[in-house]
Amino acid sequence: MSQKSLSITEVKSRAGRSLEERLRAHPHLCERIEALLNVVENSASDLATADLAEERVIEEVRQIGQQALTSWAERQHQKQVKLLRHNSPQVRKHLKKNSTGTAALEPSRYKSSSLAKAKENP
Protein backbone atom coordinates (compact mmCIF):
# COMPACT_ATOMS: atom_id res chain seq x y z
CA MET A 1 0.00 0.00 0.00
CA SER A 2 1.74 3.17 -1.10
CA GLN A 3 0.59 6.65 -0.16
CA LYS A 4 0.42 9.37 -2.75
CA SER A 5 2.69 12.27 -1.84
CA LEU A 6 0.94 15.65 -2.04
CA SER A 7 2.65 18.97 -2.46
CA ILE A 8 1.87 21.75 0.01
CA THR A 9 -0.29 23.52 -2.57
CA GLU A 10 -2.39 20.37 -3.09
CA VAL A 11 -3.29 19.81 0.55
CA LYS A 12 -6.71 21.37 1.11
CA SER A 13 -8.43 22.23 4.34
CA ARG A 14 -12.11 21.77 5.05
CA ALA A 15 -12.65 25.30 3.75
CA GLY A 16 -11.06 24.31 0.44
CA ARG A 17 -7.98 26.50 0.80
CA SER A 18 -4.45 25.13 0.55
CA LEU A 19 -2.04 25.21 3.46
CA GLU A 20 0.03 27.75 1.56
CA GLU A 21 -2.98 30.06 1.16
CA ARG A 22 -3.85 29.73 4.82
CA LEU A 23 -0.29 30.49 5.93
CA ARG A 24 -0.27 33.61 3.75
CA ALA A 25 -3.22 34.86 5.80
CA HIS A 26 -1.13 34.48 8.99
CA PRO A 27 2.35 35.87 8.24
CA HIS A 28 3.55 35.79 11.87
CA LEU A 29 2.66 32.13 12.18
CA CYS A 30 4.34 31.45 8.86
CA GLU A 31 7.55 33.08 10.19
CA ARG A 32 7.49 30.84 13.28
CA ILE A 33 7.04 27.71 11.16
CA GLU A 34 9.92 28.80 8.96
CA ALA A 35 12.08 29.26 12.07
CA LEU A 36 11.19 25.71 13.15
CA LEU A 37 12.17 24.40 9.72
CA ASN A 38 15.49 26.25 10.04
CA VAL A 39 16.13 24.31 13.26
CA VAL A 40 15.23 21.01 11.59
CA GLU A 41 17.56 21.79 8.69
CA ASN A 42 20.20 23.28 11.06
CA SER A 43 20.58 26.12 8.59
CA ALA A 44 22.73 28.16 11.00
CA SER A 45 25.02 25.15 11.62
CA ASP A 46 25.02 25.91 15.34
CA LEU A 47 23.26 22.80 16.65
CA ALA A 48 26.07 20.36 17.35
CA THR A 49 24.22 18.20 19.88
CA ALA A 50 20.77 16.71 20.26
CA ASP A 51 20.35 18.68 23.51
CA LEU A 52 20.86 21.99 21.71
CA ALA A 53 18.49 20.97 18.92
CA GLU A 54 15.89 19.86 21.47
CA GLU A 55 16.07 23.17 23.33
CA ARG A 56 15.68 25.12 20.11
CA VAL A 57 12.76 22.97 18.89
CA ILE A 58 10.98 23.36 22.25
CA GLU A 59 11.43 27.14 22.13
CA GLU A 60 10.18 27.37 18.53
CA VAL A 61 7.14 25.20 19.26
CA ARG A 62 6.37 27.35 22.33
CA GLN A 63 6.52 30.48 20.17
CA ILE A 64 4.35 28.87 17.48
CA GLY A 65 1.77 28.07 20.17
CA GLN A 66 1.89 31.60 21.54
CA GLN A 67 1.46 33.09 18.07
CA ALA A 68 -1.37 30.71 17.23
CA LEU A 69 -3.27 31.62 20.40
CA THR A 70 -2.69 35.33 19.83
CA SER A 71 -4.04 35.05 16.29
CA TRP A 72 -7.00 33.04 17.54
CA ALA A 73 -7.81 35.63 20.22
CA GLU A 74 -7.61 38.51 17.74
CA ARG A 75 -9.97 36.71 15.33
CA GLN A 76 -12.42 35.91 18.12
CA HIS A 77 -12.39 39.54 19.27
CA GLN A 78 -13.06 40.77 15.72
CA LYS A 79 -15.95 38.31 15.35
CA GLN A 80 -17.49 39.42 18.65
CA VAL A 81 -17.18 43.11 17.77
CA LYS A 82 -18.77 42.50 14.38
CA LEU A 83 -21.57 40.48 15.95
CA LEU A 84 -22.21 43.12 18.61
CA ARG A 85 -22.31 45.92 16.06
CA HIS A 86 -24.71 43.91 13.90
CA ASN A 87 -27.04 42.98 16.79
CA SER A 88 -26.80 46.31 18.64
CA PRO A 89 -26.23 49.17 16.17
CA GLN A 90 -26.75 51.73 18.96
CA VAL A 91 -23.53 50.59 20.65
CA ARG A 92 -20.70 53.00 19.92
CA LYS A 93 -17.00 52.36 19.96
CA HIS A 94 -15.28 53.74 23.04
CA LEU A 95 -12.85 56.44 22.02
CA LYS A 96 -10.37 58.28 24.15
CA LYS A 97 -11.12 61.96 24.57
CA ASN A 98 -8.86 64.32 22.68
CA SER A 99 -9.49 67.17 25.09
CA THR A 100 -7.31 67.77 28.12
CA GLY A 101 -10.28 69.33 29.89
CA THR A 102 -10.93 72.91 30.86
CA ALA A 103 -8.42 75.04 32.67
CA ALA A 104 -9.22 75.90 36.28
CA LEU A 105 -10.35 79.50 36.66
CA GLU A 106 -9.11 79.84 40.20
CA PRO A 107 -6.95 77.75 42.48
CA SER A 108 -8.72 75.11 44.51
CA ARG A 109 -9.65 76.17 48.03
CA TYR A 110 -8.57 72.84 49.40
CA LYS A 111 -5.08 73.00 47.97
CA SER A 112 -4.49 76.57 49.07
CA SER A 113 -5.74 75.95 52.62
CA SER A 114 -3.61 72.84 53.07
CA LEU A 115 -0.56 74.66 51.66
CA ALA A 116 -1.17 77.60 53.96
CA LYS A 117 -1.34 75.29 57.01
CA ALA A 118 1.87 73.59 55.94
CA LYS A 119 3.65 76.97 55.66
CA GLU A 120 2.40 78.04 59.11
CA ASN A 121 3.67 74.89 60.81
CA PRO A 122 7.16 74.19 59.42
Check whether 24 has a pLDDT greater than 60. yes
Compute the half-sphere exposure of residue 69: CA atoms within 13 Å on the CB side of its CA.
5
32 in Cβ contact with 63 (< 8 Å): yes
> How far is Cα 52 from Cα 64, in angstroms, rounded to an integer?
18
Look at residue 65 and give its three-state secondary structure. helix
Q: Using 50, 70 and 90 to split pLDDT, how confident is the model at 16?
A: confident
The secondary structure of residue 85, as a DSSP letter, is H
Bridge partners (DSSP) of residue 44 are: none
53 in Cβ contact with 39 (< 8 Å): yes
pLDDT (0 to 100) of residue 1: 47
Residue range 77-111, pLDDT digits in tens: 999 999 988 888 777 666 677 767 666 666 666 65
18 in Cβ contact with 10 (< 8 Å): yes
Q: Using 50, 70 and 90 to split pLDDT, how confident is the model at 17?
A: confident
Residue range 43-75, pLDDT digits in tens: 888 989 999 999 999 999 999 999 999 999 999
Query: Which residues in 11-44 are b (16+ Cβ under 10 Å) and which e?
Result: eeeeeeebbeeebeeeeebeebeeebeebeeeee
> How far is Cα 62 from Cα 56, in angstroms, rounded to an integer?
10
pLDDT (0 to 100) of residue 74: 94
In the chain, domain spans: 12-92
